[in-house]
Amino acid sequence: MQIAIDGPASSGKSTVAKIVATKLGFVYVDTGAMYRASTVLAQKLGLDFGDEAGILAALKEADIQFKPDQAGQKVFLNGEDITLAIRTPEITNNVSQVSALAGVRTEMVARQRQIADQGQVVMDGRDIGTTVLPAAKVKIFMVASAQERAKRRYAENTAKGIMTPLATLQAEIELRDQKDSTRAISPLKKADDAIEIDTTQLTIDEVVDTILAIVKKNM
Ligand code: CDP
Ligand code: CDP
């Protein structure tokens, strides 16, 4: 069984997907972390974020691994722990440019399908229901108001001691959504057969329970 969870930035996809995967005993695949890792790779090599040939050549040789840990999941690039590096503002603000590159998407989608072929997965991203796993049994499209999503990121940042103003975070989120929704290749889009969940007024537990009920119905 495959569960696809798509939606805009900070709508709660990864938090909820992780819990749903644990409850079902499925593997959780964070495809956003893969595009973020590709962006870190470009940064480390000093490549322009639009240098498709350069990034792709490095990416083809790159080993990207996820390892579960207490706090969730650690991400490794060629053996180096980049869990924190993939979340810096520079990476967040440039990942949409890298993820729009055709070659990068082809390479990542192939890797994502390879993981899905090995067993039952909950995969979250932007194009899982439309492109990566079009035959997924359950497709969720998670949304929330931009204001609420910015508030959630703000709370997350405050806990980490990062003091970016709320208005800046909302503007960054809206800009990233706009880039992700308007790119030429597999843009952020609700699949025709996806079920939309608006999480603006919902707790994490309520979203998890809603998805588990949908999964049960489809088993
Ligand atoms: O967690 P957050 O919503 O900030 O983003 P993410 O899921 O980590 O994804 C980071 C970026 O990767 C997105 O803004 C997209 O540009 C890209 N992405 C994508 O193009 N396709 C996916 N399936 C997942 C992420
Ligand atoms: O993966 P995505 O970018 O869609 O969102 P996330 O990183 O899972 O969630 C962003 C923040 O919203 C996290 O701090 C969650 O704890 C919080 N949150 C949520 O995910 N869902 C709710 N219903 C309420 C809050």
| CATH number reported for the structural domain that contains residue 30 in this entry | 3.40.50.300
Ligand 1 atom with the smallest distance to the CA of 100 is 20
Task: With respect to residue 218, please indicate whether it lies within any of the assigned structural domains.
Answer: no
Domain limits for position 123: 2-213
And the tokens for 9? 């930035």
> At a CB cut-off of 8 Å and minimum separation 6, what does 128 contact?
4, 5, 6, 31, 112, 136, 139
Pocket of ligand 2 contains residue 167 by CB under 6 Å = no
Task: With respect to residue 219, please indicate whether it lies within any of the assigned structural domains.
Answer: no
Domain count, the chain: 1
* Tens digit of each residue's pLDDT (9 = 90 or more) over 135-188: 999 999 999 999 999 999 999 999 989 889 999 999 999 999 999 999 999 999
Q: Look up residue 10 and give its amino acid.
A: S
- For residue 205, the tally of other CB atoms under 10 A from its CB is 10
Task: With respect to residue 66, please indicate whether it lies within any of the assigned structural domains.
Answer: yes
Ligand 2 atom with the smallest distance to the CA of 15 is 8
192 alpha carbon – ligand 1 mean position (Å): 20
- The label of the residue with tokens 């204001």 reads 147
Ligand 2 atom 3: residue of nearest CA = 10
User: Are the C-beta atoms of 41 and 62 separated by less than 8 Å?
Assistant: yes
- Binding site annotation covers 7? yes
Look at the alpha carbons of 123, 125, 129, 135 in this order and tell me if their dihedral is positive or negative.
negative
* Tens digit of each residue's pLDDT (9 = 90 or more) over 205-217: 999 999 999 999 9
Could you tell me if residue 26 is left (phi over 0), alpha (psi between -120 and 50 degrees) or otherwise beta?
beta
146 alpha carbon – ligand 2 mean position (Å): 12
- Binding site annotation covers 74? no
pTM of the model: 0.97
